Structure 1
Amino acid sequence: MLSFYVHIPYCVRRCGYCDFNTYTPSELQDGATLEIVSGDYIDAVLKELDAAPVETVPTIFFGGGTPSLLPPKDLGRVITAIKARNGVTDDCEITLEANPDSVTQEKLNELFAVGFNRISFGMQSSNPDVLKVLDRTHNPENVRKAVDMARIAGFQSVSVDLIYGAPGESLSDWAATVKEALSLNIDHISAYALIVEEGTKLAAQIKRGEYTMPDDDLMADMYLLVDQQCLQKGLKWYELSNWSKPGHQCRHNIAYWKSNNWWGLGPGAHSHIDQKRFWNVKHPNAYKEKVFAGISPIKDSEILSDDEKKSEYIMLAIRMPEGVKKAALTVAQYERSMEYIKSGHVIEKENALALTPKGRLIADRITHEMLR
């Protein structure tokens, strides 16, 4: 089995907190429209596809950037090519990340027609002030419209992405966002703590003292709030930052967390095949030049040792409810986990160690302790 990630590196404009590998068309080409950039770019992605293993595909995920900016027919070319070349499972999950402002009923109908069956909308917040801090452009009211239109189009799974911990965001602001998200016709929520990356507009604003980040206690309260509210609405956590109704987990992301094989198509995309990890050149123009010249776009690679593979298993498995198999831990690692079992951060099952809600708040610290 081989999953595919397809990177669409285009946005109309860059959000203040974003350090993803994405570009506006005008940054790449004077006067370029997405229509012009798109066809050429998809040609390159299809050329790179020729290098991937020919194995059946259980999941395809289009991320970005803003994949929903591209014409559905161009995105559909990639799905059609993967189906023809590799074949897909009967229940293949095909996800599109979308900005609520970039879809219409007609576009969503077309996206469903070309093969997408799951869509994830970047909601981030329902609070206009928080959206302003995050430098998001969408109108919060458009999220509900977009979700409803996606259901009319036929999408079986609809998700929203949320961000908590923006400067100035209170617990009641966050509670209102979660309440609004859970009132939508969705079956999946991702909620991520805001991480301020060096070099972003938001990082510069914080450095200048324009904004102050919330403290750890507030961030913990925000996480526990979304966890409790999701549970009350029938969405159970299945990974640190993800909750879903039964049968609506994002199987593509689970493939990452279980270290399954996947191939990343596009500039800056990462791949993982057996014990080898590799990644492409970052800039779309450099990527296209290489691919069209018949040169591999892979920038670098690494072979994971058995020890690295074991460490990675612990790091990823601890993020999920099943937890880490005891058999995968050394005696020393197991003993170091005991203090967290005593303190109520880790629960000991018959064959595994898993995080409690309290433990999820300090997952990184527990992982570090296990691995040191």
Structure 2
Amino acid sequence: MIHFEAELSDNPLKNAFKGKAAVHPHIPGQTFIGDEAVSVIKNQYGIKRKGTGLAYIHVPFCETRCLYCLFYQNPLRPESSAHYTDHLIKELQLWNDLPAQQITPIHAVYFGGGTPTALEPYDLYRLIKAVRTYLPLANDCEITLEGRIHHFPEEKMEAAFKAGVNRVSLGVQTFNTNVRQTMRRVDDRESMVRAIEKLASFNQASIVCDLIYGFPYQDMAVWEDDVKTAISLPLDGVDCYQLNVFEKSPLGKFIANGKLPAGADKDERAEMFARSVELLTNAQWRRLSNNHWCQTFRERNIYNRFGKSAADCLAFGSGAGGKLNGYSFMIERKYEDWVKKLEAGIKPIAFASAPNDYWHALRTVSSEMELGRINMPHLSDRFALPLDELSRDVFEQWTKAGLINPVGDWMVQTIAGQFWHVTMAQLLINVLGKRLAQQK
């Protein structure tokens, strides 16, 4: 039997579970590495994509490493920009003639990192133009450039907008100068505010920012000020994420060694989450998912919405991850190996994972939980699987625990359920995966 029960208490926001079951919901599958991984994914590239299509472009350079980050790969060097852009364009060209990279539209492209805004203006421009050349972008494709305000002067903004970027995602994390500097973020509060106002003045893109709660020295007053500051700025959207402290990250080591306090505990983070919901709701921001809010209709959040679903995602760049027909894959993370394989004309896929029989249904269940509600009878009909029947006891128990409020066929998450939605999604797909396999 797979455990899924939440604790029954008068405060499910704080007490429903002892901790997060996963950083992101995960569905296991058979792993392939090296040449076999390349062959497996090339076979999937030979199949025409269906439905919503995504593309992820990774830029693996940062001027500094933030203490909490596990995505840091390479320091930024003077020659990095042109050299990387040259090779990334080669990767875009490699399988350009295969069906998965042609014909069916790509509806959202995300330039992530690392720090995409670390590229020089000319390289940023030609990379974006190359993506528009070698990928079949939909005429309303959302093109997101992720970055930091540091190393993002006006000439880079202009180059990005000229090339076609229509969404900018800024890793603000916190506006508090002291907390930012503790986490080794470069710019202070005033620099962040001015830069956001400058970006918005172009009136060329949706401007969104990430906020994180749970940092050392970030108490409730600091968090409230972070959210209120975001509300006051000309932003189109904002994400509110809980800090994940990874054991191997610099922050994890600093906390373990007593160099920094641990930051907000589980109960305090729960209260921070609930307070952000209250502040943004009262400010009349609309909710697009449990963590993402928008102030204007310009913000669509397409990549983040479908990136966690069963949608196909092409991937390019050292350290990028993607998926096709349920097969997930990672591009070679070690920069030198990535370059060598490209120069040899090889798609630099490091490893891949094959899906199980029910991956599409399980991935859809997981992504629907991200939206704060789920309709199991509808999903049962869609996939011709007894998903409603097999999960009924789960939702009944979560309703008793104060995590779910049934509304007709919809299982709607309470504030507590929204806070615990990642844990609930992981437990739900664990239960469904096992019970579906037992019915075979």
Alignment RMSD: 2.0
Map 1:284-363 onto structure 2 (within 5 A).
Answer: 284-326=335-377, 327-328=379-380, 329-363=387-421
Question: What is the alpha-carbon distance in structure 2 between the residues aligned to residue 134 and residue 323 of structure 1?
Answer: 37
Contact 1:12 1:25 in 2 (8 A): yes
User: 1:48 offset after TM fit, Å?
Assistant: 4.3
Distance 2:201 2:238 in 1: 20
Larger RCO (CA within 8 A; separation ≥ 6): 2
What does residue 272 of structure 1 align with?
A: 323
TM-score, normalization: structure 2?
A: 0.78
Instruction: Tell me, yes or no, if structure 1 residue 25 matches structure 2 residue 76.
Output: yes
Give the letter for the 2:83 counterpart: V
Which amino acid is 2:66 matched to? C
1:1-372 counterparts in 2 under 5 A? Answer: 1-26=52-77, 32-48=78-94, 50=96, 53-54=101-102, 55-210=104-259, 211-245=261-295, 247=297, 248-326=299-377, 327-328=379-380, 329-370=387-428, 371-372=430-431
* Paired residue type of 1:161: D
Q: Is the 8 A contact 2:116 2:147 kept in 1?
A: yes
**Cα deviations by residue, 1:64-120 (Å, 9 ceiling, x for unpaired):** 011111123323323323333343222111111121122222321221111111101
**1:57/1:369 CA distance change after superposition, 3 Å:** closer
Give the gaps of 5 or more residues in structure 2: 1-51, 381-386, 432-440
Cα distance in 1 between the residues matched to 2:209 and 2:338: 30
- Is this contact kept in 2: 1:130–1:166, CA < 8 A? yes
Judging changes above 3 Å, is the alpha-carbon distance between structure 1 residues 36 and 275 closer, same or farther for their aligned structure 2 residues?
A: closer
Q: Which residue of 1 aligns with 2:18?
A: none
Which residue identity is paired with 2:304?
N
CA shift digits 1:150-173 (9 cap, x unpaired)? 122233310011111012211011
The alignment partner of 1:306 has SS state of coil
* Deviating more after overlay: 346-355 vs 126-135: 346-355
CA displacement at 1:62 relative to structure 2:
0.3
Distance in 1, matches of 2:419 and 2:338, equals 39
Q: CA deviation at 1:5?
A: 0.7
Equivalent pairs counted in the alignment come to: 367
TM-score for both structures, normalised by structure 1: 0.92
Q: Which residue of 1 aligns with 2:32?
A: none
Tell me if the contact between 1:14 and 1:23 (Cα under 8 Å) persists in the aligned partners: no
Paired AA for residue 319 in structure 1: E
Q: Distance in 2 between matches of 1:233 and 1:45?
A: 44
Q: Distance in 2 between matches of 1:110 and 1:208?
A: 44
Identity rate, percent: 24
Q: Secondary structure at the match of 2:360?
A: helix
Aligned partners of 2:58 and 2:318 also within 8 Å: yes
Q: CA deviation at 1:24?
A: 0.5
- In structure 1, stretches of 5+ residues that fail to align are 27-31
2:247 and 2:200 map into 1 onto residues whose CA distance is 38
**How far does residue 245 in structure 1 lie from its aligned partner after superposition?**
2.9
Cα separation, partners in 2 of 1:136 and 1:58, compared to 1, 3 Å: same
Q: Match of 1:80, SS?
A: helix
Residues 54 and 307 in structure 2, CA contact (< 8 A), matched pair in contact too: no
The Cα of 1:369 is off from its aligned counterpart by 4.0
Contact 2:237 2:293 in 1 (8 A): yes
Give 1:104's aligned amino acid.
Answer: P
Secondary structure of 1:323's counterpart equals: strand
